[in-house]
Amino acid sequence: MNAFLEPYYSGSHKYFADGFVKEFPEQIQLFTLQGRHWKWRMHGSAVTFAGMLEENGENFDTIISTSLTDTALLKSLLLPKMPGTRFVTYFHENQLAYPWSENDKEPSKTDMHYAFINFTSALVSDLALFNSEFNRESFFSALEGFLRSFPDNRLTSKIDAVYQKSELLYPGINTIPKSNGKRDNLLKILWNHRWEYDKDPDTFFETLFRLKEAGIPFQLVVLGEEKSTSPEIFKIAREKLKDEIVSFGYAENYDEYKKLVAICDILPVTSKHEFFGISVLEAASAGVIPILPDRLSYPEIFPKEKFGKIFYEEGKLFEFIKHFSEAPDFSLRNEIFGRAACFDWSHFRLKAEKVLFS
């Protein structure tokens, strides 16, 4: 038996944990903590999980913890009792490349401890898995400079050994059937991300405000997980775009979510960070055309040599959507659908079996 530890059981972390266990129901036991207080999870979840695993009594072959767990601390607590156990860290994100909010009380320039926990977690792991090549390369490209910022004994000699035991393991996605309903000629625009600053909703909605002011007709579907601290722009948009709104808010259930996604035409993406892109691929699997910035994980997920037409230049999103609305081009819809299908859970299972259980 193997254990999967998710200290932030919410959003995309919950999505991945549930999907992982569903693919390996006889091989993986899931342990979780609530998806809140991410900094405290990085400091304290290892101690909590160690107690949970000891109480469980199972002698686990492999313990997989995600990157908001301090794997070094976890291993120090459990290895004396489970000497044959293999420890794996799965990186949904890394704190060396994650954009901190300007409102955060602990800006990254003064508190580097979270990035250091990511480093030591990878250092002590038998295997460090990353959810995209962009995630892995952003971590390792920043690591030497990060370690050299310390006064002495800078540990840069450890970087190559850590890289050698790193692997790529894309998450799986739940594909969404295409809509069989008749589409009208009115462009339907989708937002299906978390309602947080790092997805840059200000740029997204300000672009839509410009479209409305320019007299370009469209409809809007806003989905995704709302937070208690969600940016003010969502309240502003709900009022300013009230005549365009088809749906605005968290879907009542997953069936309703799929139905709303499938009626949309385009998904303009403005994110400041994206280490993978589950919501983008889910929409793409339903035939929604993503409109992407040429950065982050997007050129990896949708290679530009084939999907170059869906990328916009920085600062040119309004012009891109305006042109698309005047001359809609859905020629890539089947190719986009096919690309998204490459990330379904069956593909994940094949790779996970190879890197984890073979």
Residue numbers in the chain where pLDDT is lower than 50: 108-110
What is the second-level CATH architecture of the domain 2-172+345-356? 3-Layer(aba) Sandwich (3.40)
Q: What is the pLDDT of residues 224-267, one digit of tens each?
A: 988 778 899 999 999 999 999 999 999 989 999 999 999 999 99
Q: According to the model, what pLDDT value does residue 102 have?
A: 58
Q: According to the model, what pLDDT value does residue 357 have?
A: 87
The 3-state secondary structure of the chain, one letter per residue: CEEEEEEEECHHHHHHHHHHHHHCCCCEEEEEEECCCHHHHHHHHHHHHHHHHHHHCCCCCEEEEECCCCHHHHHHHHCCCCCCCEEEEEECCCCCCCCCCCCCCCCCCCCCHHHHHHHHHHHHCCEEEECCHHHHHHHHHHHHHHHHCCCCCCCHHHHHHHHHCEEECCCCECCCCCCCCCCCCCCEEEECCCCCHHHCHHHHHHHHHHHHHCCCCCEEEECCCCCCCCCCHHHHHHHHCCCCEEEECCCCCHHHHHHHHHCCCEEECCCCCCCCCHHHHHHHHCCCEEEEECCCCHHHHCCHHHHHHHEECCCCHHHHHHHHHHCCCCCCHHHHHHHHHCCEHHHHHHHHHHHHCC
Q: Tokens representing 39? A: 């900094």
Q: According to the model, what pLDDT value does residue 309 have?
A: 95
CA 250 to chain centre: 18
Homologous superfamily of 188-341: Glycogen Phosphorylase B; (3.40.50.2000)
User: Is residue 224 within 8 Å of 247, Cβ to Cβ?
Assistant: no
Q: According to the model, what pLDDT value does residue 112 have?
A: 83
Q: According to the model, what pLDDT value does residue 182 have?
A: 56
Numbered ranges of CATH 3.40.50.2000 in the chain: 2-172+345-356, 188-341
Q: Record the pTM.
A: 0.93
